[in-house]
Structure 1
Amino acid sequence: MKNLLIIFFVLFLSSLSSDDYKIDIHGKIVNSLKHKYSNNSYYSILKLDGTFTDNFSNYGNFNALVSLEIDNSELKQHFFSAELTYQDGSIFYGQGSRTSREFEQGIGKLLITSANKRLTELVGVKCVYAINFFRSTSFTLTKCKITNSQKEALSNISSNKE
């Protein structure tokens, strides 16, 4: 029992000092365009709008543009660009694509490709995410490994509201 408590305590302390950036995103499909080639083949472009919060007490608006092609009920290609706008006006853009297997599993990877203001330090950060849909609403949990300077930049946003 004592060993279990020690392990739990060590894990708890390491989670407090870890440099993980976690983003909780909720979005809704607000526009959907589709070219339907057959019953099981199509090309689709989606626009999602929503909100996000993170583990640094930041919050803001989210939107994404998504393109996907389904051929014979199999994912042929999937690409997206996401924009997160923070409460102080800072913005970052992330892009990603998913394989057919990742698409089926509801997971993927995101690369932060561009940012303004205080977030330029985040460009190049790689993240993983899990996404679920309920009707036209998406629920996404994203986790990124960040450096101390990136952590500081994110921590300072909540004190600099627009």
Structure 2
Amino acid sequence: MILILKKKKYLVLIILILFSTFNLFSKDYLINFQAKVVNTDKHNYSEGNNFNLLKLDGSFTDNLGNYGNWNALASFELHNNKIKQHFFSAEIIFQNESKMYVQGSRNSKEFEQGTGTFTVNAASKEIKELVGTKCIYAINFFKSTSFTNTKCKVSDIALERLQLIKQ
């Protein structure tokens, strides 16, 4: 029994070291997005049950001095006035025309809290190291305008590539 506990102790220690090492080699990349809902469409199935599409256009800045435009396509389905599913895809265009594409989805609880996650699923060759990056965000709306704060953990090489955009 003591041997099993020692093995578990070492396993936990190894996992903690690996997790700490990953965090040592990752940096925070922060993005602030603003956008307006520019188009909507809806299928009303019945009272409290519908499918919605949104198109957003906006701008962004990041903590590295970069800026640009972005647009998103979002869908969400309501069932009994509760979010059944929510999915989105966004195209982010930097000032040097580099692009990255992200996709995300949220469950009902995340939607109500105004939080969520997304993953970079494609990027221009200049910033291809971002592919696979996972980000968390918080979003607020004022009328048809959205305000989103995003935090991504990126590798040192991805951070270097992002820093080269503004040069």
TM-score tier, shorter chain, comes to 0.7 to 0.9
1:155 aligns with 2:155: no
Structure 2 stretches of 5 or more lacking a match?
Answer: 1-24
The separation in 2 between residues aligned to 1:73 and 1:44, in whole angstroms, is 12
Counterpart amino acid of residue 138 in structure 2: A
Q: CA deviation at 1:19?
A: 1.1
Q: How many residues align?
A: 143
Q: Match of 2:106?
A: 98
Q: Match of 1:54?
A: 62
The separation in 2 between residues aligned to 1:42 and 1:25, in whole angstroms, is 27
Give the structure with higher Rg (CA): 2
RMSD: 1.2
Aligned counterparts, 1:35-50, within 5 A: 35-50=43-58
Moved more, 30-39 or 149-158: 30-39
Structure 1 stretches of 5 or more lacking a match?
Answer: 1-16
The separation in 2 between residues aligned to 1:61 and 1:23, in whole angstroms, is 12
Q: CA deviation at 1:40?
A: 1.2
The separation in 2 between residues aligned to 1:156 and 1:121, in whole angstroms, is 13
SS of structure 1 residue aligned to 2:96? coil
The separation in 2 between residues aligned to 1:117 and 1:140, in whole angstroms, is 26
Q: Match of 2:39?
A: 31
Over residues 75-100 of structure 1, what are the superposed CA-to-partner deviations in whole Å (9 max), with x where a residue is unaligned?
A: 11100001100000000000000010
Q: Match of 1:115?
A: 123
TM superposition outliers: structure 1 runs of 4+ over 2 Å: none
Moved more, 106-115 or 35-44: 35-44
TM-score w.r.t. length of structure 1: 0.86
Q: Match of 1:86?
A: 94
Counterpart amino acid of residue 145 in structure 2: T
